[in-house]
Structure 1
Amino acid sequence: MATSRKYPMLRRSQALWGTRRMWKTRLVFWAGAIAIGLISVLFAVLSDKAQALFQALTAGGWGFLPLIITPVGFVICAWLSTSLFPGAQGSGIPQAIAARHLRDDEDRGHILSLKLVVGKILLTVIGLFSGASIGREGPTVQVGASVMLQVAKWGGMAQTRGLILAGSAAGIAAAFNTPLAGIVFAIEEMGRTYEARTNGLVLTAVILAGLASLGLLGNYTYFGVAKDTISFLSDWPLVLSCGVIGGGIGAAFSALALKATRRIRRWNALQPLHRTLFVAAVCGLFVAVIGIASGGLTFGTGYEQARSAIEGQPLPWFFFAEKFLAGLLSMISGIPGGIFAPSLAVGAGIGSSLGLVLGSSAGVAALLGMAGYFAGVVQAPMTAFVIILEMTGNHDNVIALMCASMLGYGTARMISHEPLYHALSRLFIAEAIRRRRADVLTGSKR
C-alpha cells in the first residue's frame, strides 16, 4: 500500500489493470449471453425440422411407422444419454436448480457442461424426430446454464450461482421470445427467493440473448395472437373450472411423474443400462400406440394443437387425456426433453373440453386451461400467466389468467406439496453426494 502511494505510476498501472480485467469479464459475459440466444435459435430450427420430418415420414399410408421409429428412437436416446451424455436425461431445469445448490465445480460439471450442451440438443432433436411428446424449452434452460457456467470459468467470475440463474433465464427468454417470463422464471422457479445482487446479471443476459434471437427470427408471438377477451360476467364459471380442474390434473401429472421416476431409478440401479433401455423401449411403444390412436395429434411438442385451440378451433374432447399420457410416458422414459410445450398443449385441451361443456369460446377456454394446468404442474403461478400472456400477445386477459393460475397453484398445493422441478433436482443433488462419498471411500481404501 505504501509502495503504491510512493510511486503514483504504479498506482495508475494497477488501476488500469483492474479496469482491463473488469472489461474482459464483462465482454466474456456478454458473449456468453449472445451465444445462448444464437444456440437457442439453432435449437429451435433443428427441433422444428425434426418434428416436420417425423410428420412427413408417418403421413399417408405409413401410419404404422411410429411403432418402429418411436421405440427405437427412445432406446437410442436413452443409450446415448446413459453412456455418452450422463446428466442430459429429462427436462434440464432440475439440473440447473441442483447446480445452484452444489458448491463443488466437479459436481456441477456432471450436470452442466459444454459437452452436455451438445448432447442435450442432439438427443432432444432425436427424440422429436422419434415422435416423443417433449419440448425444447426445459433443455434450453440447461443449455443456457451450462454456457454461463463455462463463462464463469473463462472470465474468472465468482458469482457462479448468479450466472447459472442468468443463463437459465436467458434460455427461457430466447426459447419462447418471452423476456419477462425469463426474468419471472428465474425469480420464482429457479431461485425461489429474489437475490438483488443478481438482478443485473439476469436482466443483461435476458436482453442480450433476446436481441440475438430477435436478430435471426424477428419479433414473434409463440402461439400467434389471441383475439378473444374474457368476460367475467359470463366466463367466471370457466375461469373457476379451468383453474381448479386444470390445477388438479396438473398436480396429478406432477405426483405421478415423481413417483414413477423414483421407482424406476431404484429398479434400474441393479442393471442400469439394460433396465434403462427396457423402460425406454416400453414407454416409446406406448407413446407410438397413443399417437396412432389419436390420429397423430399427440406426437411432438403439441404446439400446432395448442395454437389452433387458441385461434378458436376446439380440440377433440379426449385430446388432453391422450397428450397427458404421452407426455408422462415420455418424461419417465428417461430420454432428454422438456415438459413446457406438451404441458401447455394438455392445458389447451383441458380448456377446450371445458369450453365445449360450458358453451364458452374455444380460444378463451384454451388460454385459461393452459394457465390452470401449467401452474398446477410446475407450481409457479407467476411464470404460468406471464409466459402465456407473452406467448399469445393479448394483455386484455391479465386478471382472468392470474385467477386461473392462482386457482391451479392452490389446488395443486393441496394435492402435491412437492414442486416438480425442485423435487427432481434433489435426485441430482443426492447423486452428487453419493458420488462424493464413493470417491472418499475409494481414496481411504487406497
Structure 2
Amino acid sequence: MPRSNPLRWTPARYRALLRSRGPQSVRFRTRLAILLGAIAIGLAATVFALAADAAGEMFGRFAARYPYAPLVATPLIFAGLVWITRRYVPLARGSGIPQVIAAQGDPEGATHSLVSIRTVTGKALLTLVAVLGGASVGREGPTVQIAAAVMGLSHRLLRVPLRGAVLIAGGAAGVAAAFNTPLAGLLFAIEELASAYEQRVTLLVIAAIVIAGMVAQSVQGDYVYFGLIGAHMSLASALFVVPVAGIVGGLAGGAFSRLMLTLATGSNRITRQAKAQPILFAALCGLVVGALGCATGLTWGTGYGAARAMIAGHDAPLWFGPAKFVATLATAVAGLPGGIFAPSLAVGAGIGNILRSVFTDSPSSAIVILGMVGYFAGVVRAPLTAVIILAETTNSRGLMLPMFATAYIADGVSALVCREKLYHGLSRTFEMRREA
C-alpha cells in the first residue's frame, strides 16, 4: 500500500501557521501581554515601595520634631482620605486583595471599575498619604490591586481577552515583587486569590512571578525583606512553643478577622453609625491611631522597624503587640486605602515577643518568627503562604517544620473564632457594589 506524501509547507499552510501562532495571533499577543505586564508590575512595585518607604521616613521625622502634632494631623488626614476615597475612587478603599478576588467574576468589566487605572492610581496616591499620616497600613495589599490593573491594561492595549487567571497572575506577581518572595506569591495565588488549583492558572502565575521578580531585583537588588536571620529551633523546644504560638496566634488573628468583618459587613450599632457618618468615624479612628502612636512612639506605619528589631533579638515592650493590633484594626475599619500585610507581621512579632518572655530557654528569634507565622496565618487563613513568606523574608528555612505546624494550628483555631476568610468576606462588599 503506498505511503502518503510527507507534510508540505505550502504558502497556504504557512499563512495559516502565522494566523494561529504568529505576531498577529491571539496566542502570541496573550503571551506578549503577560510578558510586558509582568515587567511593568516589577517596575511599579519597586517605585511604589520606594515611595512608601520615603513617606514613612518623612512622617518619622515629622513625629520626632512635633511629638504631639499627630493627635490633630492624623485624625484630619484620616477624615480627608475617606472623604476623597468615597467621592472620587470608592473602589480603592481597604486592602486591594478583596477587589482582585471580586474582579475574577467579570475580568473585562473589572478593568473599568475594581482594577481600573483610575482606581489604582488613586489607591497608590492615597495609600502614600495614609503613610504620611502615620496610619498603620502596608503597601503589599495595594500592590496586588495595582499589579492586577497593570496586567489588565497590558491585555487591553494588545486587544486580547482577559481572564480571571490573568488577574490572579498579576496579583501574585505583585506579592512576589513587594516582598521579594516568589514562592510566597505562587502559594498566595493558589490559597487565597484562586478558588481552586488549576494548571493553566499556575503556569501563568509562575511566568508572571519570575519576570516581575527579576525586574524588581534588578532595580532593588537581591535583598531579604527582614534580613538574613536564619533562625533554628530544636525539636524539644518546638514541642512546647509551637502549640502555644499556634493557639495564641490563631485566637488573635481570628479575633482581628471577626472584628473586621463584623464592622464591615455586620448590622450592629457601630457599623450603622459608621455608615451614617463615615467621615466622623474615620476621624475617630485616626484619633485612636494618633493617640496610640504618640503614647508609644512605635505603632506608626507598617511596624517594619520594630518587627525587624524583635526578630534580630532586641528587647521590645510587651504591650507592642496589643497596641499595634488596635492601631491596625482602627486603620483598617476607617475606610481609607491601605493594606494589612506588613502591619499584621508586626503584630505577630509583638505576639512572639510576649511568648519569648515565657519560653526564655528557646531561641528568641525563632519564637518571634513563630509568633508572626501564627498571627498572620490566623488573619489571612493561608497557612502555606504564611510559612513561605516568613521563610523567604528571614532566610529561616531551617525553621520550616515548626512554622508549618504553627501555621496549621493557627489556621484551625482561627476558623473556630471566625468561620469566613477575611479577604473573601470583604470581597463580597465589592461584588455588591459592582452589581448595584
Q: Is the 8 A contact 1:152 1:160 kept in 2?
A: no
Residue 9 of structure 1 corresponds to which residue in structure 2?
Answer: 11
User: Helix, strand or coil for the counterpart of 1:110?
Assistant: coil
Q: Which amino acid aligns with 2:31?
A: R
Task: Return the alpha-carbon distance in structure 2 between the equivalents of residues 392 and 154 of structure 1.
Answer: 39
User: Corresponding residue for 2:74?
Assistant: 70
Displacement, 1:45?
0.4
Q: Which moved more, 1:186-195 or 1:16-25?
A: 16-25
How far did 1:376 drift? 0.4
Q: CA deviation at 1:235?
A: 3.8
Q: Which runs of 5+ in 1 are unaligned?
A: 1-6, 436-446
1:402 and 2:404 aligned: yes
Residue 107 (structure 1) shift: 4.9
SS of the aligned residue for 2:284 comes to helix
CA apart distance, 1:27: 2.1
Alignment map for 1:36-185 (pairs within 5 Å) = 36-60=41-65, 62-100=66-104, 102-103=105-106, 105-107=108-110, 109-185=112-188
Matched, 1:203 2:206: yes
Instruction: Go from structure 1 to structure 2 and tell me whether the alpha carbon gap of 1:401 and 1:164 turns closer, same or farther (over 3 Å shift).
Output: same
Which range moves more in the overlay, 22-31 or 66-75?
Answer: 22-31
2:32 counterpart residue number: 27
2:337 matched to which residue of 1?
A: 336
Deviations 1:285-327 (A, max 9, x none): 1100011111x10000010011011101132111101000000
The structural deviation recorded for 1:125 is 0.6
Name the residue aligned to 1:375: 377
The size of the alignment, in residue pairs, is 422
- Contact 1:152–1:163 (8 Å) recurs in 2: no
Q: Percent identity?
A: 41
What is the alpha-carbon root mean square deviation over aligned residues?
1.8
TM-score (norm 1): 0.91
Task: Tell me by how many angstroms 1:335 deviates.
Answer: 0.5
CA distance in 1, matches of 2:390, 2:341: 11
Displacement of 1:192 after TM fit? 3.2
Displacement of 1:412 after TM fit? Answer: 0.5
Superposed CA offset, 1:347-388 (max 9, x none): 010011111122133211110000100000011100110110
Task: Tell whether 2:233 aligns with 1:230.
Answer: yes
2:99 alignment partner AA:
Q
The residue identity in structure 2 corresponding to 1:365 is I
Report the TM-score, using the length of structure 2 for normalisation.
Answer: 0.93
Summarize deviations over 1:178-214 as a string: whole Å, max 9, x none: 0000000000111131111122211110011001100
| Preserved contact between residue 41 and residue 213 of structure 1 (Cα < 8 Å) | yes
Matches of 2:116 and 2:332, distance apart in 1: 22
The amino acid that maps onto 1:238 is V
Q: Distance in 2 between matches of 1:107 and 1:179?
A: 26
Partners of 2:428 and 2:210 lie apart in 1 by 30
Deviation at residue 17 of structure 1 after TM alignment: 3.3
1:293 is aligned with what amino acid?
A: A
1:323 counterpart = 2:328: no
Checking the alignment, whether the CA contact within 8 Å between 1:149 and 1:160 is kept in structure 2 is: no
Q: Does 1:282 align with 2:287?
A: no
Deviation at 1:266, TM superposition (A): 4.7
How many Å apart are 1:25 and its aligned residue? Answer: 3.1
* Secondary structure of the corresponding residue to residue 225 of structure 2: coil
CA contact (8 A) 2:254 2:379 kept: yes
* In 1, Cα distance between equivalents of 2:381 and 2:237: 28
Counterpart in the other structure of 2:220: 217
Whether contact under 8 Å (1:147, 1:167) holds in the other structure is yes
